[in-house]
Amino acid sequence: MKMKHRQLLLGFALLVTFSGVGFADDEPLISAPCFNPFGTTSCSSTGANCASTEGTTQPKLFGLIAPSDHGFANFISPMSNPVYFEDPRTLTEARFIVANHTVPSSLGGGQVQLFAMQARAALTENLSIIATKDGFFFSQNPLLSDGFADVNAGLKYNLYKNYDTQTIVSTGFTYGIPLGSHQAWQGKGNGEFNFFATAGQQLGENWHVLSAFGARIPANTSSYTQSTYWSNHLDRKLGKTGFYLFTEANWYHWMSNGNQFPANVEGLDLFNLGSTNVSGNNIVTGAYGVKYKPHDRMELGVAYEIPYTERKDIIQNRLMVDLIIRY
């Protein structure tokens, strides 16, 4: 695939330029990143960045929903590929999303807006319920009408975490319930499973890497396409300001065709069109953005996403804003 190398290199150069040079010279934005809200012993008491957990346990909401794991408080959540690029942390939060999606002229052009809210609820120190897709589409594209999105929900389980090294690995799945509007290319078939693994690592005091890999398998594999994705995130915290600069890259690969949409295009992260001629196709998109995090219970971000490959399918560009409120 032919990549737009200049755009990728320019974005990374801007990230490094604006964020400054070096990892270890700046002070962390939030002290004691090893804070463990569950009051367990998984946080080493001898780690250089580790605080005592005594007296820090928070009550469960409604006696069921646990607080977020604030032991990785310097991390931020990814923004692009919003339905499937899952944060590896155990979180209790509401995430509000507004996205303006520009469609290529080859598919009628125009724009599509999505208004959505994701929800996550920690049940234990390692297990959480996640609801990653819902909302409503407003369309100015001739091939897509206004309508409700499908609902994706599932479970995420933390496999490994180390507060001292700020390393975390999780896995999980979601099921896309076909409750959306047919005219918005939702609510078709028997739903879709998404199986994923996701991980995060802090580098020095200020840099963070997130990566997620997953496979989307429709319940009716003869009618809808099967695909895989690999999403990556790199951010840098800007001292004590509460601001982060970040860049992201998403690779989408289609493993099989469907029989619903007679075209050589697919729906990336928001749709499964069931296209008839996409097996073997690859698309890479990139995003650049900034987040403001006044404390570890709130994030406000904006990101701009474009395709890096010549193949665009349904995305000419996308502007997205999110607000996360976390317990």
Span 100-149, pLDDT tens digits: 999 999 899 999 999 999 999 999 999 999 999 999 999 999 999 999 99
**25 Ramachandran zone, left/alpha/beta (phi>0; psi -120 to 50):** alpha
Share of the chain above pLDDT 70, in %: 83
Confidence check: pLDDT of 316 > 80:
yes
Cβ neighbors of 146 (< 8 A, separation 6 or more) are 136, 137, 138, 139, 181, 183, 184
Q: Which domains does the chain have, with CATH numbers?
A: 5-19+67-326 (2.40.160.40)
Beta pairing partners, 282: 253
At 60 the pLDDT is 81
What average pLDDT does the structure give for the chain? 86
At 57 the pLDDT is 65
Q: How far apart are the C-alpha atoms of 134 and 150, rounded to whole Å?
A: 6
At 58 the pLDDT is 75
Q: How many other β-carbons are positioned within 10 Å of the β-carbon of residue 241?
A: 11
Q: How far apart are the C-alpha atoms of 298 and 3, rounded to whole Å?
A: 35
Span 135-184, pLDDT tens digits: 999 999 999 999 999 999 999 999 999 999 999 999 999 999 999 999 99
Beta pairing partners, 186: none
Closest CA to 118 of 130, 127, 128: 130
Q: How far apart are the C-alpha atoms of 36 and 43, rounded to whole Å?
A: 7
pTM above 0.85, yes or no: no
